[in-house]
Amino acid sequence: MQPSASERDPYNGLARAEPTLPSSAYWDAETYQRDLEAIWYRNWLLVCREADLAQPLAFRTFRVGTQEIVVLRDDIGELHAFHNTCRHRGSQLCQESEGRLKARLITCPYHAWSYSLRGDLVRVPSKSLPDGFDKADHPLYRVALSVWRGFVFINLREDAAGSAQASFDPASGNLGNWPLETLVSGHVLRKVMNCNWKIFWENFNECLHCPGVHKDLSRLVPIYGRGLMSRHDDPEWVRNADNDAPEFSGGLRSGAETWSRDGRAHGPLFPGLTPAERAAGQTYATSLPSMFIVGHVDYVRTVRLMPLGPEQTGLIAEWLFAPETLAATDIDNIIAFGTQVLEEDTAICEINQNGLHSKRHMAGVLMPEEYDLHRFHNWVRERHATRETTG
Ligand code: FES
Ligand SMILES: [Fe+2]
């Protein structure tokens, strides 16, 4: 017997009222510390693109919670990541956020211990070395690094295993047909959001807010205007199972090709996309907790998060284009649209944060459309639980 339509592809919505995380999870210093230890210091995190470290001796420094990391390209072209801390008495090594090392050594500004670009301690300018001291025992603290399709990820776990590829949510989209490695940066937007990092991901994981918060986006993506993310978010989806109108299928409004102010593509479409990928309008791939990337027919946008404090999160959005698009096309229309959507989201995230200190609000409650948010909450809960059992 053929499975029924609802058995093949069931309704996405939550069947019962699920609680949110407790309100204190969004501002309490202790929970923030637990988030850092259980999540941010144990997962693959996007830091930059390989192209940002194109030249030998190029370096960048990054802060993750309280940890500072230096990522560099050595003289034979390999990338390395280290804690930005000297093995002598713990001085910071690099002070700038980016640049090029002046020599094939990293030299501490305090007492001039020098390390090779692979992190080995090579020079200690003391008059003599004490008994029991071996330079080989004092390399820089190495940090695991993994390159995924031109994007550089680090992992602060000492025993980090696997690769950044495995950090992508398999339930999110596949960008295999987008030429990510060869794209170039057309625009970068940096923001400090006054909200906990989890508030941003919660907002990302539902579109109930779309009709009210994103008027223009809701016109471009009609299903968002219904407060839904995809066809199976509608309890009545079976009634419209064969209806390919975008308010049911999830694609862009008729005549639109991409996320831009006028809905038009600006430059050649990526040639490798399937008709379904072109019709989808947007394809998201997510790697918790640090990034998502969305593919459109003519460009790609990444959003990277870094926790700065219990109620502060850094956000860097970057628009990536084929080199020929950037050379030939005015991209303002694209940048303006994405910026507007991001500004709308970050503003509402800050408003959400503002309300969470009420002594009466212990936790919230989720509606059926917030099923992905519930999945995110469970992901956070599981990481905290695993951390507690494994120490
Ligand atoms: S702290 Fe770096 S050389 Fe002394
Ligand atoms: Fe939004």
Residues with CB under 6 A from ligand 1: 86, 88-89, 91, 108, 110-113
Half-sphere exposure of 228 (CA within 13 A, CB side): 21
Q: Ligand 1, from 70, 84, 88: best to mutate by most atoms within 8 Å of Cβ?
A: 88
Task: Label the pairing between strands 363-365 and 19-22.
Answer: antiparallel
Could you tell me the residue ranges of all domains in the chain?
9-27+176-390, 45-164
Whether the Cβ atoms of residue 325 and residue 194 lie closer than 8 Å to each other: no
Half-sphere exposure of 11 (CA within 13 A, CB side): 13
CA–CA dist 95, 258 (Å, integer) = 41
Q: Which ligand is nearest to the CA of 342?
A: 2
Please give the CATH architecture assigned to the domain spanning 45-164. Answer: 3-layer Sandwich (2.102)
pLDDT in 10s for each residue of the chain, 391 residues: 555 544 555 899 999 999 999 999 999 999 999 999 999 999 999 999 999 999 999 999 999 999 999 999 999 999 999 999 999 999 999 999 999 999 999 999 999 999 999 999 999 999 999 999 999 999 999 999 999 999 999 999 999 999 999 999 999 999 999 999 999 999 999 999 999 999 999 999 999 999 999 999 999 999 999 999 999 999 999 999 999 999 999 999 999 999 999 999 988 999 999 999 999 999 999 999 999 999 999 999 999 999 999 999 999 999 999 999 998 888 999 999 999 999 999 999 999 999 999 999 999 999 999 999 999 999 999 999 987 776 5
Q: What single string gives the DSSP state of each residue in 110-175?
A: TT--EEETTS-EEE--SSS--TT--GGG----EEEEEEETTEEEEE--TT--S-GGGGS-TTS---
Topology of domain 9-27+176-390 in CATH is: Naphthalene 1,2-dioxygenase Alpha Subunit; Chain A, domain 1 (3.90.380)
The answer to whether 9-27+176-390 and 45-164 have equal CATH topology is no
The mean predicted confidence, pLDDT, of the chain is 95
Query: How far is the centre of ligand 2, averaged over its atoms, from the C-alpha of 344 (Å)?
Result: 7
Residue nearest atom 4 of ligand 1, based on CA coordinates: 111
Task: Give 256-270 pLDDT, tens digit per residue.
Answer: 999 999 999 988 999
Ligand 1: atom nearest CA of 86 is 2
332, two tokens:
């303002």
Q: Which ligand is nearest to the CA of 209?
A: 2
Which residue type sits at 319?
Answer: W
CA–CA dist 215, 201 (Å, integer) = 20
165, two tokens:
């590829």
Q: Ligand 1, from 95, 107, 110: best to mutate by most atoms within 8 Å of Cβ?
A: 110
CA–CA dist 158, 42 (Å, integer) = 9
Ligand 1: atom nearest CA of 93 is 2
